[in-house]
Amino acid sequence: PEALAFIKRYFPEAQISHIKIEKEFLRVEKYEVLLTDRTEVEFDRKGVWTEVECDHVQVPLGLLPAYVSEYVEKHFPGAFVVKLERKRKELEVDLDNDLSLTFNHKGDLIDIDD
């Protein structure tokens, strides 16, 4: 239910195209949802998103923490986020200009890759 609510909230125009479920020892570990607008969303077994990848379009602004929006706006005007990936204590953000930014759990930038 949490994953479905997430999709309806942030991608109201898209429909679910298909779902890929990954299991380990007969237990669901994660699942990937492909939407009709070509967005891919990965959820953990509890239905919490771990990755959102939009196909050359902007990730919904409501998903972005304020520190990410502010940093991108200030340092890369005109660029936008096309992918978010939550890791244990980090948030990796891919921009449409092929840069990848990594923030720690406090919101500090800790890495930039191109």
Q: What's the pLDDT tens digit per position in 43-99? A: 999 999 999 999 889 999 999 999 999 999 999 999 999 999 999 899 999 999 999
Pairing of strands 27-35, 40-44: antiparallel
pTM: 0.89
So what's the pLDDT on residue 55? 83
Tell me which residue has tokens 């990410």: 68
Q: Is the pLDDT of residue 1 over 80?
A: no
Pick left, alpha or beta for residue 106 (phi over 0 → left; psi -120 to 50 → alpha; otherwise beta): alpha
